[in-house]
Structure 1
Amino acid sequence: MSLLPPVTADRFVPAPLFRRLAAAVYDVLPLAGVLVMAEALATGLGRLLLGAEGYGQHAGLAGNPWNTSFVFLVCFAYYGGFWVHGGQTLGLRTWKLRVQLPGGGRIGWWHALLRFLAGLAWLVPGLGLYKALHAPVWMAIALSLACLIATLASRLPDRAAGTEMVRLLRDG
């Protein structure tokens, strides 16, 4: 049983930039909730394994590469899981958008990974400006937001993964 409805020529068109940006902003809210729960789980596990004192001596999860990897995997599981199973995150569903292969096919985990990694490109300039050049936070955020808009406008994640984001014209 396919989660994607049958494809017809009048069902979707390329997604406009405004809708893609709105869906990306919308998706931050549920992802933040998922990350809070994941960090609570990681903190609880850390306290269980190290004890409260040992956990405090190691400054919790701050700067821990295992925790950074865990957060990365949770974010990928959130986006990748939605893209692979139905082509829509909560934000995409709200804005009537879908990620798919050209022609309407469902994307696989490899496409999702490539799309996710390319989608992170907008973070690199802002983090570099902040971490390497010690620029003010507001400047790093402004650069990151400009890069986010440029990444979405250029459709970099779709081009890297061989996918497309379409606007659904009718409910299916």
Structure 2
Amino acid sequence: MSARPDFTVPQPSPPFTIAPQQAPSLKRRMACWLYEGILMFGVVFIASYLFDTLSQSRHALDNRYLRMGFLFIVFGIYFAWFWAKGQTLAQKTWHIRVVSPSGQPITQTRALLRYVLCWVWFLPPLAAYSTGIPVLEVLVLLAGWVAVWAILSRFHPTQQFWHDALAGTRLVHFVQAKK
């Protein structure tokens, strides 16, 4: 009997490296969050222009609730698409990647679940706004709620945001591989 040599098939290396279980600092994640908000102005502008063209709206408050629903869907498509690819434009700038707990890219379904759960950042202030609280007070509530939600990540075992824990995702610092 001849012994067969043990061949191992080399596995392709990912185009990035992840520090094991290391979440980016809260400061970097919040800076990325703010930058993402700035980039979303462009998405809102283009989506609103498309909405106005298709609905023949002449004023930003025409079809207000339909517009909000449309923007909610557009945001969902934007984030689910980019998160399934690994990162949004702002996350690419700040070297942050969305991955599964095992470090693999997430599916479109998981990205969509993460998008829905991310609305926890805005639900209490939106609920307050719907009760007729003045806009300035809602903005103060929003700032306070964002600060509380961000600080709560310090109590997660791996320093992740709680919506990431619920969605089965995590944010990691990554370094682009050299080609």
Query: TM (normalized to structure 1)?
Result: 0.80
| Structure 2, unpaired ranges of 5+ | 1-11, 154-160
Q: What CA distance in whole angstroms lies between the structure 2 residues aligned with 1:110 and 1:80?
A: 8
Q: Secondary structure at the match of 1:15?
A: coil
| Structure 1, unpaired ranges of 5+ | 48-54
Task: Report how far residue 60 of structure 1 moved.
Answer: 6.3
Is it true that 1:35 corresponds to 2:44 in the alignment? yes
1:131–1:108: structure 2 CA closer, same or farther, 3 Å change rule?
Answer: same
Letter of the aligned partner of 1:159 in structure 2?
A: A
Task: Report how far residue 165 of structure 1 moved.
Answer: 0.2
Letter of the aligned partner of 2:97 in structure 1?
A: R
* Aligned counterpart in structure 2 of residue 171 of structure 1, from 149, 172, 176: 176
Q: Deviations over 1:57-106 (max 9, x none)?
A: xx665354332221001111111111001x11111111111000012101
| Corresponding position of 2:3 | none
Q: What CA distance in whole angstroms lies between the structure 2 residues aligned with 1:65 and 1:131?
A: 12
More helix by share: 1
Does the 8 A contact of 1:31 with 1:78 survive in 2?
A: no
Q: How many residues align structurally? A: 157
| Corresponding position of 2:32 | 23
1:63–1:102: structure 2 CA closer, same or farther, 3 Å change rule?
Answer: same
Query: TM (normalized to structure 2)?
Result: 0.77
1:22–1:158: structure 2 CA closer, same or farther, 3 Å change rule?
Answer: same
Alignment of 1:108-147 (within 5 A): 108-132=107-131, 134-147=132-145
Q: What CA distance in whole angstroms lies between the structure 2 residues aligned with 1:102 and 1:122?
A: 22
Identity rate, percent: 29
Letter of the aligned partner of 1:76 in structure 2?
A: G
Q: What CA distance in whole angstroms lies between the structure 2 residues aligned with 1:6 and 1:131?
A: 44
Q: What CA distance in whole angstroms lies between the structure 2 residues aligned with 1:67 and 1:135?
A: 22
* Aligned-residue RMSD, C-alpha: 2.3
Letter of the aligned partner of 1:164 in structure 2?
A: R
Q: Secondary structure at the match of 1:13?
A: coil
